Amino acid sequence: MSAPNKSFDPVEVTTLSPEVLAGFVSEAISAISAANSLDELKEVRLAHTGDRSPLSLANREIGALPPAAKAEAGKRMGESRGAVNAALAARTQELETLRDAALLIEESVDVTTATGVRAQGGRHPLTTIQEQIADVFVALGYQLAEGPEIESEWLNFDALNIAPDHPARTMQDTFFIGSEDSGIVLRTHTSPVQIRSMLNRELPIYVICPGRVFRTDELDSTHSPVFHQVEGLVIDKGITMADLKGTLDHFAQSMFGEGIVTRLRPSYFPFTEPSAEVDLQCFVCRGTSVDNPDAPCRTCRSEGWIEWGGCGMVNPKVLVATGIDPEIYSGFAFGMGLERTLMFRHGITDMRDMVEGDVRFTRAFGLGV
Ligand code: DAH
């Protein structure tokens, strides 16, 4: 066996000598620990383990060594590379942990920060209640009717059997468009829509009409020159006051809760005969506060009933005025104020809150539909 060729001894191939390799390793390790980001570390990895790194270049020398020397050099090279790879893996993990922590901070959301997004308003309860009422009656087969807010005096008064000398027909109550004899007014109630419906629709008629009306009242806690009513009208064969009462009870329950009934009190309206005031059973105390000083009710002032609107059987004179034969057809009508309905349903004490358009008021009603 010949002695190993000295010139191929790895100790003498300078780049494979333990000192030089140790030098490569320590250079690599200090570069690795100096890398402050995963990008920097990538470059360090390339420089110290890539094809042109000192370690790789030294590794190539091993191939030319005699077999006996290869093992030792290979082992040393393996250890050197192992040390560099271990340092790379450890630093990679450290840097990934730092990156993730930074990302969490960067992407964190401060839910208490003011957003600059404008506060949302709310739908006005008058809009909502008009839709609710329409839904209740459409479910009964009624149609939604509409009429203009600027109305002819004939439809607003004469056709409804309101005589020319009726006190409501003066400038004290009615807004006239132009002069008092212009014949054109801002409608003072939704009742002219009854006439429009009778003139324009096929019989039988089942209509509901929520809408805006006008009277020359000063704005105060219980009055407004602009307010809302809902009008109901039915014309069919064989309609009686029992139909009216049943319909009003159903309406009351859908607005105020199950079991709430209405009461009719004899009254007078020129366009209905007989006529009645509609009272609503107090939906808070349901009548238990009457003659019961121990449990007074603020909603109905312990009366058990709340005035809600007017109603009656359509006056045959009105049927005739619109060309409907009262011998064949009969009908009922009713009308109530929506502000009033909302006021007692929600305990609103000042009419002005409903007029002023302050979002702090409407928002309290949310987005309810
Ligand atoms: N139009 C009446 C008013 O404004 C309310 C009213 C009463 C309407 C009786 C009706 C009714 O349809 O039958 O005071």
Residues 71 and 217 in one domain: no
**Single pTM value for the model:** 0.69
Task: Determine the residue of 157, 185, 189, 319 to mutate for testing ligand 1's pocket, defined as the one with the most ligand atoms within 8 A of the Cβ atom.
Answer: 189
Secondary element (H or E) of residue 236: strand 226-236
Atom of ligand 1 nearest to the CA of 160: 1
The answer, yes or no, to whether the previous bond of 204 is cis (omega within 30 of 0) is yes
Residues 102 and 137 in one domain: no
CATH number reported for the structural domain that contains residue 135 in this entry: 3.30.930.10
Q: For residue 360, count other CB atoms closer than 10 A to its CB.
A: 11
Rounded to 5 degrees, what angle do the CA atoms 300, 303, 308 make? 55
Is 115 within a domain? no
- pLDDT in the model for residue 65: 82
Position with higher pLDDT, 324 vs 56 = 324
Q: Which of 77, 106, 135 is the C-terminal boundary of a domain?
A: 106
Residues 94 and 141 in one domain: no
Tens digits of residue pLDDT in 204-257? 999 999 999 999 999 999 999 999 999 999 999 999 999 999 999 999 999 999
Q: What's the CA-to-centroid distance between 276 and ligand 1, angstroms?
A: 10
Q: What's the CA-to-centroid distance between 334 and ligand 1, angstroms?
A: 6
Which segments of the chain does DSSP mark as H helices, in order? 18-34, 38-49, 54-62, 67-107, 125-138, 153-156, 192-200, 241-256, 316-321, 338-346, 352-355, 359-362
Residues 134 and 84 in one domain: no
Q: Which of 106, 141, 163 is the C-terminal boundary of a domain?
A: 106
| Tokens coding 16 | 């494979």
List the domain range (segments joined by +) for residue 58. Answer: 13-106
Give the burial class of 113: count Cβ atoms within 10 A of its Cβ; 0-12 exposed, 13-18 middle, 19 or more buried.
exposed
Residue 9 — very low, low, confident or very high, per pLDDT cuts 50/70/90? low
Q: How far is the first Cα of the chain from the last one, in angstroms, to the nearest whole number? A: 102
Domain count, the chain: 2
Is 193 within a domain? yes
Is 299 within a domain? yes
Is 220 within a domain? yes
Atom of ligand 1 nearest to the CA of 334: 12
User: Which residue in this structure is represented by tokens 């009964």?
Assistant: 140
- Which residue has its alpha carbon closest to ligand 1 atom 13? 311
pLDDT at 1 over 60: no
CB within 8 A of 178, min separation 6: which ones?
Answer: 184
pLDDT at 331 over 90: yes
pLDDT at 3 over 50: no
Residues 52 and 173 in one domain: no
Atom of ligand 1 nearest to the CA of 191: 1
Count of helices and strands (H, E) across the chain: 12, 9
CB–CB of 361/354 below 8 Å? Answer: yes
- pLDDT in the model for residue 2: 43
Tens digits of residue pLDDT in 259-277? 999 999 999 999 999 999 9
- Residue 188: which of 214, 211, 210, 169 has the closest Cα? 214
Mean pLDDT across 57-69: 83
Residues 129 and 51 in one domain: no
Is 101 within a domain? yes
Residues contacting ligand 1 via CB (< 6 Å):
189, 191, 231, 269, 272, 310-312, 333-335
Is 75 within a domain? yes
Residues 233 and 310 in one domain: yes
Is 2 within a domain? no
Residues 29 and 153 in one domain: no
Is 215 within a domain? yes
Residues 101 and 210 in one domain: no
pLDDT at 74 over 90: no
Residues 166 and 97 in one domain: no
Q: Which of 73, 106, 139 is the C-terminal boundary of a domain?
A: 106
Residues 47 and 166 in one domain: no
Residues 179 and 98 in one domain: no
